[in-house]
Structure 1
Amino acid sequence: MRYIFRKTYTVLTLLLLSILTLNAQDNVVDKIIAVVGNQVVLKSDVEQRFISLKAQGYTSGSVDLKTEIFEDLLIQKLMIAQAAIDSIEVTEQEVEDDLDRKMEMYIQRIGSKEKLEQYFGKSILDMKNDLREPTRNERIKEKMQAEITKDIHITPAEVRDFYNKLNKDSLPTIPGKLEVQQIVRYPQVTDDEKDRIRNRLREFRDMVHEGKSFSTLAVLYSEDPGSARQGGELGYTPRSSLVPEFANVAFNLKTDKVSKIVETEYGFHIIQFIDRKGERINVRHILLKPKIEQEKRAEATSRLDSIADLIRGEKLKFDEAAFYFSADKDTRNNGGLIVNPYTGSSRFEKDNLPPAIAQQINNLKLNEISEPFLDVSGGKDAYKIIKIKSETKSHTANLSDDWSIFENMLTNQKQQDILDKWIKEKQSGTYVHIDDSYKNAKFRFKGWQK
């Protein structure tokens, strides 16, 4: 387990670390097993990561896995201690933004906010609170690593020399990637159904004005399952994480006031203000989702069938059809091209596609148009047709096609060398105490045991 710039490790395990293994923590007799400067490592820190990694099938290389985890934590604490000396800080805004990105990534991966909360039995707010301290520590460590390695420069000649010296039998395999376009139609809700929902929310608002608890009503009636369990409370949230219609009303509410009825892409809401801290707001809400008649679902499907026929008959290009007919504001202006939330690019490995789209891809060839299908991964019913715009096959990495991979490999190697040197220097000048249970541990860096 390498400690340098392990973004993938952080993203994929921190949620498991802080949520799946919480029950395991209750069975651990906790104690301090190391002190690094003014930082401590707890036995539970090691046990949590151990359980999480074992659950993912991770196995250590040449050393014991718990020792590897322990040393990784020692390095993290060494960097955090030095960051405090060097006045390298992480703001609450940075931590919150990281948490928002992690939640969005997991929502995309599992399919919806509701599925994520149901799977872990926790609200998004609780998950973020569980992740807050580990996320802050990882962020400080990353900033410290960036400071230590900031003067590295790589030339093209160095990259070519690095590639030529590699064992060609050990070159990495580059997985295939796809670019996918979509056209989205949302089935229409009837005016009668909208009126029914609005009248119901007016009843709730009147009940609150008469003294009923907004929180109790949210628990009983809100159709946002995660926040409903918290009495409708969303926790401190930046404006950027809320849909504009909701944010515009929520950020203008006064304490304990209940908003007018707000319509968003997820349904209809009433909102109650709780508190505000700077650019973050904490509110409660009750969400009701209109029921969609089968006739309206059929209309959306029929409309997509007609659009697909126009494209197949070469009377309209997919990009044009997306612009004119797609109801998805995030993709319609770029030809329906879906952006990968993990990388910010338009290329996906198949496993990273939203589940409903990945299922359709199995039966689709390059440039074919899919049949209409239902996708509920965004928190609302959406009917779609998709097309594979481009596809690259899995291949062995080579310099002409994958220059950036080898440039990054060389950069990482140089960074690792600099970090190894830095760690050895800081070990000698930093107070370190290791519990006797690790006195015979085989660490990569010998300076821990003094």
Structure 2
Amino acid sequence: MKKIFWTTCVLLCMFFSVQAQKNTVDKIVAVIGGNPILLSDLNQQYTMYLNQGNPPNPDIKCYIIQQMLAQKLLKQQAEIDSVFVEESEVDIELDRRMRAQVQRAGGQENLERFLGKSLLQYKEEIRTDVKEQLVSNKMQGKITENINVTPQEVKKYFDSYALDSLPDIGAEVEVGEVVFYPQLNKEEKQKFHDKIELLRLRIKNGEDFAFLARTYSEDLASAVEGGDLGFFDRSQMVKEFTAVAFKLKPGEVSNVFESEFGFHILQVLERRGEQVHARHILIKPQYEQPSLERTRIKADSVYVKLVNKTIGFNHAASTYSDNKETKFNGGMLLYADNVTARTTFYPVERLDPSIFVVIDSMKVGDVSKPVFFTGQDGKSGYRILYLKSKIPPHKASLEQDYPKFKEYAQQEKIDKALSLWFEKRRETSTIKIDDEFLSCEELKLWTKNSKK
């Protein structure tokens, strides 16, 4: 809706860069303010575009160069304004991208085969690029941080639509949940504790931590990297994890400890100020019938209280729910897309099918009986669902859809501010583009009023 291309001016450049095979001699495809953009850099971004499952489209390279030029301008301004990122932030972002790419490639070996080198080697190669991307993104945030819209501006934005061009809003619902995950008793936990304790003893006797992590750890994201979690600070891990990690010296292996995710052993590899570089092995408890039955009984008892109205839904969620993402929001599911802020109004077509099946036959105000489910994280349990409201498909109106139009109006204002900012910087920057790409419509704007 009325999107100006600057909305995503550095989005593509934030993607993880995949090393393209260089069959031709590298060359400079563009220069802005003395900062070159190399053909190899362009090919890396295009390879990433293909790696996302997109069809081959050489024309997209024009768009990629446009984004890279924008990033260079933001980086230049960041240096002037002393906007920077900590090395620890770069470490965290690198580790996040690596884990995502390993999962997408189907394992570390597949990714390394595609790259033609080890992940550690590649992480060092792209470190500078990733840091530049983070700095540029932070600079863009600084440019737009104080932009807000008034109710009058929202109305003006809404009124700019012709009546016959107002968007159609699909059906939306507000859905709450109270989630119950199984809890093991002491005897049930012991066999999982013993399983990881045997791994700890094998490491103590000289076996390789990374090999055992790859073989046995049930944290699939880190297991492929030998359990390596990269650098993290105290705010990024659960308290049980940080309590152990920040007590160990480099090289030390912890005793077995428990968190909400299961049983861990942890080894600190390096300390850097208030950052720890560690690896771990995780064994997740498997919940068998006795623990599931106890959970169902607990869920049933809460359901009875809700039906008898001896407790309100918000109170039930904050008191009993085991889902930390929703319990402090009255149990309500939150939805967010690339435009609107997080909202309790969830498009029906975006709902988890297992939730839609339950609420489809419910009336507004109803609560469901406890339903067994397995989440995307693999955790199983029972949940009670609450249908707070249902909005049928309708033509957009300011009264009913004010939050949406407020976000749209604010995004347009941000887009315009960014467009103006880039236009001024282009006019005072020396920009050169290789003849091969001068015919790109996206790039003509960049050379139109720039210094020659």
TM-score normalized by the length of structure 1: 0.78
Question: Residue 279 of structure 1 aligns with which residue?
Answer: 274
Q: CA deviation at 1:41?
A: 2.5
Instruction: Report if the CA contact (8 A) 1:95-1:136 is conserved.
Output: yes
2:400 match: secondary structure: coil
1:197 match: secondary structure: helix
> Structure 2 vs 1, CA of residues 141 and 192 (structure 1 numbering), >3 Å: closer, same or farther?
same
> Structure 2 vs 1, CA of residues 404 and 222 (structure 1 numbering), >3 Å: closer, same or farther?
closer
* Between 206-215 and 333-342, the greater mean CA deviation after superposition: 333-342
Question: Residue 107 of structure 1 aligns with which residue?
Answer: none
Matched, 1:227 2:222: yes
Question: Residue 321 of structure 2 aligns with which residue?
Answer: 326
Matched, 1:36 2:32: yes
Question: Residue 430 of structure 1 aligns with which residue?
Answer: 429
Residue among 146, 170, 191 paired with 2:186: 191
Identity %: 31
Question: Residue 18 of structure 1 aligns with which residue?
Answer: 16
> Structure 2 vs 1, CA of residues 45 and 387 (structure 1 numbering), >3 Å: closer, same or farther?
farther
Aligned length: 431
Hey, what's the Cα distance between the residues in 2 that align with 1:332 and 1:162? 35
- 1:410-437 residue CA offsets vs partner (Å, 9 max, x unmatched): 5554554454444343334323221120
Instruction: Report if the CA contact (8 A) 1:122-1:226 is conserved.
Output: no
Which residue type is aligned with residue 166 of structure 1?
Y
Question: Residue 445 of structure 2 aligns with which residue?
Answer: 444
> Structure 2 vs 1, CA of residues 272 and 57 (structure 1 numbering), >3 Å: closer, same or farther?
closer
1:198 match: secondary structure: helix
2:64 match: secondary structure: helix
Which residue type is aligned with residue 375 of structure 1?
T
- 1:76-116 residue CA offsets vs partner (Å, 9 max, x unmatched): 2222223323433334455567789x88xxxxxxxxx9x99
- 1:308-349 residue CA offsets vs partner (Å, 9 max, x unmatched): 244234444333433443334554454323445774544433
* 1:110-121 → structure 2 map (5 Å cutoff): 118-121=103-106
Question: Residue 388 of structure 1 aligns with which residue?
Answer: 387
Which residue type is aligned with residue 106 of structure 2?
G
Which residue type is aligned with residue 287 of structure 2?
I
Residue among 278, 286, 290 paired with 1:291: 286
Any stretches of 5+ residues in structure 1 without a counterpart? 104-112
1:236 match: secondary structure: strand
Which residue type is aligned with residue 400 of structure 1?
E
Question: Residue 106 of structure 1 aligns with which residue?
Answer: none
Question: Residue 346 of structure 2 aligns with which residue?
Answer: 348
> Structure 2 vs 1, CA of residues 176 and 199 (structure 1 numbering), >3 Å: closer, same or farther?
same
* Between 141-150 and 227-236, the greater mean CA deviation after superposition: 141-150
Instruction: Report if the CA contact (8 A) 1:181-1:387 is conserved.
Output: yes
Hey, what's the Cα distance between the residues in 1 that align with 2:101 and 2:302? 33
* 1:86-101 → structure 2 map (5 Å cutoff): 86-92=81-87
1:260 match: secondary structure: coil
Instruction: Report if the CA contact (8 A) 2:180-2:321 is conserved.
Output: yes
Instruction: Report if the CA contact (8 A) 1:219-1:229 is conserved.
Output: yes
> Structure 2 vs 1, CA of residues 229 and 158 (structure 1 numbering), >3 Å: closer, same or farther?
closer
Question: Residue 175 of structure 2 aligns with which residue?
Answer: 180
Any stretches of 5+ residues in structure 2 without a counterpart? 112-118
1:305 match: secondary structure: helix
Matched, 1:373 2:372: yes
Hey, what's the Cα distance between the residues in 2 that align with 1:228 and 1:335? 35
Hey, what's the Cα distance between the residues in 2 that align with 1:243 and 1:152? 34
Cα RMSD for the two superposed structures = 4.2
Question: Residue 208 of structure 1 aligns with which residue?
Answer: 203
1:400 match: secondary structure: coil
Q: CA deviation at 1:248?
A: 1.0
Q: CA deviation at 1:438?
A: 1.3
Q: CA deviation at 1:304?
A: 2.2
> Structure 2 vs 1, CA of residues 254 and 168 (structure 1 numbering), >3 Å: closer, same or farther?
same
Q: CA deviation at 1:271?
A: 1.1
Instruction: Report if the CA contact (8 A) 2:300-2:369 is conserved.
Output: no
> Structure 2 vs 1, CA of residues 162 and 58 (structure 1 numbering), >3 Å: closer, same or farther?
farther
Q: CA deviation at 1:137?
A: 4.3
Hey, what's the Cα distance between the residues in 1 that align with 2:421 and 2:168? 32
